Structure 1
Amino acid sequence: MTLTKEELKEVSDKICKNTLMETLDISFCEIGKDYLVAKMPVTPRVHQPDGVLHGGAMVALAESVGSAASHMFLDAKEFYIRGIEISANHVKSVSEGYVFAKAEILHKGRTTQLWDIKIRDEEDRLISIVKLTTIALPKNKNV
Structure 2
Amino acid sequence: MQFHEAAARAVTEELPPEIVDLINESNEVGVNLDSHLGVTYTAAGPNGVTMRLEISDKHLQPWGVTHGGIYAALGESAGSVAAYIAAGAGPAVMGTSNHTDFLRPSKKGDVIVTTARPEHVGRTTQLWRIEHRNERTGKLVALTHLKTAVVPEPVVDSKPNGKEEGSRG
1:130 to 144, 150, 153: 144
Taking only aligned residues, the RMSD between alpha carbons, in angstroms, comes to 1.7
Contact 2:86-2:121 within 8 A present in 1 as well? no
CA separation in 2, counterparts of 1:10 and 1:48?
A: 32
1:117 to 121, 130, 145: 130
> Structure 1 regions of 5+ residues with no counterpart?
none
Deviation at 1:16, TM superposition (A): 6.5
What does residue 14 of structure 1 align with?
26
Moved more, 120-129 or 133-142: 133-142
Are 2:114 and 1:101 aligned?
Answer: yes
Deviations 1:36-88 (A, max 9, x none): 101111011100110111000111011000001112232233x1110110101
Structure of higher CA gyration radius: 2
Amino acid corresponding to residue 135 of structure 1 in structure 2? A
1:73 to 83, 86, 99: 86
Flag the 1:88–1:140 CA change in 2: closer, same or farther, 3 A. closer
* Secondary structure of the structure 2 residue equivalent to 1:92: coil
* Secondary structure of the structure 2 residue equivalent to 1:65: helix
Moved more, 28-37 or 87-96: 28-37
CA separation in 2, counterparts of 1:128 and 1:136?
A: 25
Over the matched positions of the two proteins, sequence identity in percent amounts to 26
TM-score normalised per structure 1: 0.91
Flag the 1:68–1:16 CA change in 2: closer, same or farther, 3 A. farther
- Structure with more of its chain in strand, by fraction: 1
TM-score normalised per structure 2: 0.78
CA separation in 1, counterparts of 2:92 and 2:40?
A: 21
Are 2:89 and 1:85 aligned?
Answer: no
> Structure 2 regions of 5+ residues with no counterpart?
1-12, 158-169
* Equivalent residues, number: 142
* Secondary structure of the structure 2 residue equivalent to 1:75: coil
* Secondary structure of the structure 1 residue equivalent to 2:76: helix
